Homo-oligomer: A and B are copies of this chain.
Amino acid sequence: MKISTGSEYMQSLRELNPVIYYQGERIHDVVRHPATAAHVRAAAMTYSLANDPKYKDLATATSHMTGRAIGRFTHVHQNADDLIKKAKLLRVLGQKTGTCFQRCVGFDGINAVYSVTYDMDQAKGTDYHERLKKWLTYIQDENLMVVGAMTDPKGDRSKGPAQQADPDQYLRVVERRPEGIVIRGAKLHMTGAVNSHEILLMPTTALGEDASDYAVICALPVDSPGVTMVFGRQANDSRRDQCQCLDVGKPSFGTVGGEALIAFEDVLVPWDRVFMDGETEFAGEVVYRFAAHHRANYGACKTGLMDVLIGAVSYLTLVQGTAKGSHVRDKVTEMVHLCETLYSSSLACACEGWPTASGAYMVDTMLANVCKQNVTRFHFEVARLALDLAGGFIATLPGEKDLASPEVGRLVEKYLGGVQGFPAKDRIKLGRLIEAMTGGTALVESMHGAGSPQAQRIMIFRECGLGDKVALAKKLARIPMRKDLGKK
């Protein structure tokens, strides 16, 4: 691993030169720019943790290709234990950053593409898998951060890629040259894009035969010519931009992952970095496998965040003198219950992992969808309970400038302290932490990251084996097995 510490990671970013805009202006140094610095630090934790003996076993792995020690975020899962370790690693990172640390997207992309390129080569006689392995060895050896880029703008969602008025609403190959393919389009909501080294592009949906130009998987450096990023706004980002410390809630690591629109304006990608080009029949499978891995993750990393939130609220009730109320304990219990229910889903789909033909391990896809579906419900409910216990001051807190003010600082200090002797400043910090972790962007990310709720429901229905369940019921009810109605 060439990059083996957080500092090295940050240094490596400064050697790149991606085109990033934020609020209409170019960001030249993502490591120091106030809009992105905290996000970078959260991602850096994925490197730092590997140096903590307590977590080394979770944070690193042995490459099945080279036998060399690698960062787990570049690993291809070799067994169910790898999947379980991943879940545990994500929870720890969630606990330590309280936010998204952004490396899962590339991680899951690598794993999905690994097994599907194998299947493609078997079926079609292509050599995508070898190309992928070569690129992946480079990623592992350098320990690079990869953004897995899937979500297209989609334009009119009642129409497919090839039916859009503007054909660029889904990313596509516009030209094939001897040296490589030329791509055009965009990917939205790209977590960690601005502080990654590489982009791994994948299609966003199953594709029909008419959409072969949209069936493209390839990898390219973030600073390839023609790539432009627009970093999105987040809740209360202005506090961060103004380098406010107290009001920002979680000064070290920021609130949410940091997403960008990545536009590709006729970008050339060399052939040895192209891992699919036109094999429409495999597009759905890449989405399916990527989504399953990614949905499983949310039941792990978000529980790390919930641990922090539960701790914050629980401490706040001590500060406010309400900790012993029976309803307080009951609500804390409920938050823990929901958090652990989620974590159970994440563990379960790892524990039921299965090998693909390539040897790479997949989570149980049904349970992964169940896991993510619960995230879209429970994170809101946990936030609601946290805000219930925190009290109304979350919404009316004066700012750090008021606390520092010679005119009104004494009033803020006097009236926002809670139990005797507790500094108002610390109570405010807790309030701001809770505000940051329950506000808009954080919850939206839980809702839509790794696929919107309805996407999971479709998969759950599709994979539930309804015919088998019908047969069980018929047998118990002593209904003859007929052909006419039993099929669905």
Contacts and interface: CB of A to CB of B under 8 A. Distances in A.
A465 to B, nearest CB: 9
A485 B98 contact: no
Residue from A349, A384, A416, A449 having most chain B Cβ neighbours under 10 A: A384
Interface residues of A, number: 163
A86 interface: no
A252 B435 CA distance: 25
B348 A234 contact: no
A172 to B, nearest CB: 13
B156 A324 contact: no
A213 interface: no
Contacts of A349: 344
Interface in A187-225: 188-189
A224 to B, nearest CB: 16
Contacts of A189: 392-393, 395-396
A238 interface: yes
A228 to B, nearest CB: 6
17 contacts: A22-B402, A26-B407, A98-B472, A158-B321, A233-B398, A236-B238, A250-B477, A253-B476, A314-B469, A326-B330, A337-B457, A348-B348, A380-B384, A391-B448, A426-B477, A430-B473, A433-B473
Given A430-B479, A448-B391, A471 B311 contact: yes
A395 B473 contact: no
A395 B234 contact: yes
Nearest to A447: B387
B393 A188 contact: yes
A84 interface: yes
Residue from A247, A259, A315 having most chain B Cβ neighbours under 10 A: A315
A257 to B, nearest CB: 9
Contact of A395 (B310, B420, B441, B452): B441
Contact of A155 (B165, B169, B419, B435): B419
Contact of A261 (B263, B398, B444): B398
Interface string A452-485: 1110010011001010111111101111100011
Contact of A322 (B157, B232, B261, B340): B157
A344 B330 contact: no
Given A21-B405, A407-B21, A416-B153, A351 B315 contact: no
Interface in A229-275: 230-236, 238-239, 241-242, 247, 249-253, 256, 259-261, 263
Interface string A297-321: 0000000000111111011001111
Interface string A434-449: 0100111101110111
Contacts of A418: 155-156
Contacts of A116: none
Contacts of A348: 343-345, 347-348, 351
Contacts of A470: 311-312, 314-315
Given A310-B466, A336-B464, A440-B440, 6 more contacts: A23-B399, A230-B402, A235-B435, A311-B474, A377-B384, A433-B476
A388 interface: yes
A85 interface: no
Given A411-B263, A430-B473, A399 B159 contact: no
Contacts of A402: 21-24, 230
A167 to B, nearest CB: 12
Interface string A149-175: 001010111110000011011000000
A422 interface: yes
A401 interface: yes
Interface stretch (A105-113, A121-129, A364-372): A364-372
Contacts of A366: 340
Interface string A418-433: 1111100010011011
A374 B370 CA distance: 14
A65 interface: no
A454 B471 CA distance: 27
B340 A440 contact: no
A429 B479 CA distance: 8
Contacts of A357: none
A401 B259 CA distance: 17
A453 to B, nearest CB: 6
Contacts of A84: 351
B444 A387 contact: yes
Contacts of A474: 311, 315
Contact of A479 (B323, B426, B438): B426
A408 B21 contact: yes
